[in-house]
Structure 1
Amino acid sequence: MLSPMDDYPVHQIAEPIRHVATSDRNFYDRYYFNCYPTESPDVFLIVGLGQYPNLGVMDAFAVLRRGDDHIVARMSKALGADRTDTTVGPLRIEVLEGLQKLRVVLEPGSEYDLSFDITFDATIPAALEPKHFRRQLERVTFDTSRFLQTGTWTGSLTVDGEDFAIDPKTWRGNRDRSWGVRPVGEAEPQGRRAVDGIQNFFWIYAVMQFDEFTISVIMQEDEQGRRIVEEAMRVWPDEARDNEWLGRPEHELTFCPDTRDVTGAR
């Protein structure tokens, strides 16, 4: 099962690019984007696309929040041999310049009142996060890498017949790319793992874009409050300037009494 990428010297294992290094069904390779206007908090767009080589599937979605409404588009298809093909039905992602500029398109359709053609332009270098690894009941359940970027958006967005001009002076967002092994949604087979296999119990992932820099905060804790992965990092636009470690991140959460519903956080 060769693909055009096999013509490039990028192989990591003694297999075609189509085949990943593990046969774990939970191996994935994903894009995530968000897009919002700084002057109007009523509109917020999220887009994602994931490939699952050992399941033979590629999924994608777009969801836009406008006021109290959510408009959602979902699509899925069989994953072919060419993993550089990042088109799923009406949605596609184009890498115009690696680690800098990407185009994200959702063509108009009759099943949803949402379409867009927008281009992300990074304002900081791609920042690699700490490796995320967890073993549960002797099996590796998390073994992932991810990088993040903040940037600006350019293009156009249509919501229920209303057109928005996406101006990079006022539209911002962040994106990440992650890949590896993590639970992908299918239920575990019956047995002990299906009962005792607790997944991420507590997770905070906050990316904050300022005019001069970006701050990324990550905290994951298990069911006993032990840290599994953490990060507090300031990323500067200047590639010659090292990312700045800000120390151990902490959190204070306020819960609704007798529930796990969070009403506030610091």
Structure 2
Amino acid sequence: MSTTHDDATTFHDPLVGADAIDLPDGFFDRLMFNMHPTDELSPSIIMGFGIYPPKDTVDGFVVLSHEGEQRNLRHASLLSATDRSGAGPFRFEVVEPNALWRLQLAANEIGVEFDVRWRARTPAWFGEVAVTNESAKRTSFDHLFQSGRYDGELTIDGESVSVDGWYGQRDRSRGVRTMSGGQGLHIWYQAQFPDFSIGFLLVETRSGDRLLLEGAVMRENGRLDPITGVRHALSFTDDLDLVDGEVEVSTASGEVYRVHADARAGGGFMAGAGYGGHHGVSRGVDHVESDRYDLGGAVSPRSLDSALTDRLCAFDLDGVRGTGIFEFALTRSSKYQYRPSL
């Protein structure tokens, strides 16, 4: 595995246009945003959109976790049938690259609508990730994540609320990602605090060895402090769902952050967003589908077609409260057992 870090202003933030030709099979260009209050664990909204030019395909999703229920909206179309600014009820606009996006969701069957702007509050962590897989294919993609705040309006079942000041982490990735085989633990961690965000991607093998680590502590004053080490002691249910735990982050400047996460709010199961191998699969023009999960125990990372979960958590760092997305997945292999490293 290798990563490089560079000024995020060098990242081409708009999705690739029609002039990008001769792209490799498996190429994608994707965006993902989450949106949630700064001091509450509901509602949690996660949205994403991706284009797959060699397949002439686009798809996207919106996931709402709120009041004991998860609502999932998935949409897809042919890339050639869109203007590359969205599909189905979802639209986006890059108002100012790496600084300001507009995100819109029109009326749809899950009863969620929004018209919001995401504005960067920290610099972005940007890297190029290269991983040699067990298969012959090699993963290589540009990757960016960045903390921001929202303004605008969210409507759920006809009731509108302001999202002014809400937190939101975004993730942009572009390239070929075919990571497969041998993974034990996956974490995409985005802990939001008033003046900074702790963000990293960690992947470990089934034996507990590090396969990939990239990220930084991103501060509102413009400082980026790359993350050099992560240790963890997490509690999971028998159904592979995260309950709570500690994460210790070490940085290049010598800082150490030990953060407690409470993950009992539930929801964020990314199977509802199509992460069970459904992205990039052609469904023709203007395909929209939806479903809902009862969060009372009917579904879990073990029972769904993907274990990946983006849980809105309460964080505590030496008495400083925060909220944010703790994305996790354990392999469902019977040969694997989670091993804390802290």
Could you say which TM-score interval applies, normalised by the shorter chain? Answer: 0.7 to 0.9
State the match for 1:104 in structure 2. 103
Q: Is the 8 A contact 2:113 2:154 kept in 1?
A: yes
Matches within 5 A, 1:205-220: 205-220=188-203
Contact 2:23 2:54 in 1 (8 A): no
| Inter-partner Cα distance in structure 1 for 2:155 and 2:53 | 33
Please tell me whether the aligned partners of residues 146 and 179 of structure 1 are also in contact (alpha carbons under 8 angstroms). yes
Give, in angstroms, the shift of residue 217 of structure 1: 2.6
Structure 1, 94-103 or 122-131: larger mean CA deviation = 122-131
Q: How many residues are paired up?
A: 231
Is the Cα contact below 8 Å between 1:130 and 1:230 reproduced in 2? no
Distance 2:34 2:159 in 1: 19
Q: What per-residue deviation string (whole Å, max 9, x for no partner) do you get for residues 30-54 of structure 1? A: 0000001124322111100011112
Once the 2 structures are TM-superposed, how far is the Cα of residue 255 of structure 1 from its aligned partner?
4.0
Query: 1:175 & 1:199 partners in 2: Cα distance?
Result: 27
Q: Does 1:265 align with 2:263?
A: no
Q: Which stretches in structure 1 are left out of the alignment for 5+ residues?
A: 1-9, 11-15, 185-196
Q: Where does residue 44 of structure 1 map in the other structure?
A: 44
The separation in 2 between residues aligned to 1:210 and 1:260, in whole angstroms, is 27
Q: Identity, % of aligned pairs? A: 29
Letter in 2 for 1:113: G
Counterpart-to-counterpart distance in 1, 2:212 and 2:96: 30
- In the other structure, the counterpart of 2:123 is 125
Structure-1 residue corresponding to 2:89: 90
* CA distance in structure 1 between the aligned counterparts of 2:168 and 2:60, rounded to whole angstroms: 19
Q: Among 174, 177, 194, which residue is 2:172 paired with? A: 177
Rounded Cα–Cα distance in structure 1 between residues aligned with 2:117 and 2:219 = 21
Structure 2 partner of 1:249: 230
User: Which SS does the other structure have where 1:80 is aligned?
Assistant: helix
- CA shift, 1:233, in A, is 1.9
* Preserved contact between residue 129 and residue 142 of structure 2 (Cα < 8 Å): yes
Alignment of 1:1-266 (within 5 A): 17-22=19-24, 24=25, 26-80=26-80, 85-109=84-108, 111-129=109-127, 131-140=129-138, 142-168=139-165, 171-183=166-178, 198=181, 200-239=183-222, 241=223, 243-256=224-237, 260-266=240-246
Please, which runs of 5 or more residues in structure 2 have no aligned partner?
Answer: 1-11, 13-17, 247-342
Measure, in 2, the Cα distance between the counterparts of 1:199 and 1:106: 38
Q: Deviations over 1:67-112 (max 9, x none)?
A: 2112222111101298x72220211110011100000001113x23
Question: Once the 2 structures are TM-superposed, how far is the Cα of residue 127 of structure 1 from its aligned partner?
Answer: 1.6
Cα separation, partners in 2 of 1:253 and 1:40, compared to 1, 3 Å? closer
Q: Does structure 1 retain, via aligned residues, the 8 Å contact 2:31–2:49?
A: yes
Tell me the SS of whatever aligns to 1:143: strand
When the two chains are superposed, the root-mean-square deviation of aligned CA atoms in Å is 2.5
What do residues 148-184 of structure 1 show as CA deviations (whole Å, max 9, x unaligned)? Answer: 111111111111111111212xx11110101111249
Tell me which stretches of 4 or more aligned residues in structure 1 moved more than 6 Å.
none
2:319 aligned partner: none
Query: Structure 1 residues 104 and 253 mapped into 2: Cα distance closer, same or farther (>3 Å)?
Result: same
Q: Deviations over 1:185-239 (max 9, x none)?
A: xxxxxxxxxxxx5264321110122222221132101223221111352122344
TM (norm. structure 1) is 0.78
Contact 1:231 1:248 in 2 (8 A): no
User: Contact between 1:132 and 1:229, CA under 8 Å: does it hold in 2?
Assistant: no
Distance between the aligned counterparts of 1:210 and 1:262, measured in 2?
21
Query: What is the letter of the counterpart of residue 206 of structure 1?
Result: Y
Instruction: Work out whether residues 213 and 234 of structure 1, in 8 Å CA contact, stay in contact via their aligned partners in 2.
Output: yes
Q: For the residues of structure 2 that align with 1:156 and 1:133, how far apart are their CA atoms?
A: 40
CA contact (8 A) 1:44 1:64 kept: yes
Letter of the structure 1 residue corresponding to residue 160 of structure 2: D
Q: CA deviation at 1:256?
A: 4.1
Tell me the amino acid that sits aligned with residue 180 of structure 1. Answer: G
Name the structure, 1 or 2, with higher relative contact order (CA <8 Å, separation 6+). Answer: 2
TM-score (norm 2): 0.62
- On the 8 A contact 1:130/1:145 being kept in 2, the answer is yes
2:172 partner letter: R
Q: Which moved more, 1:125-134 or 1:51-60?
A: 125-134
- Look up the SS of the partner of 1:37 in the other structure: coil
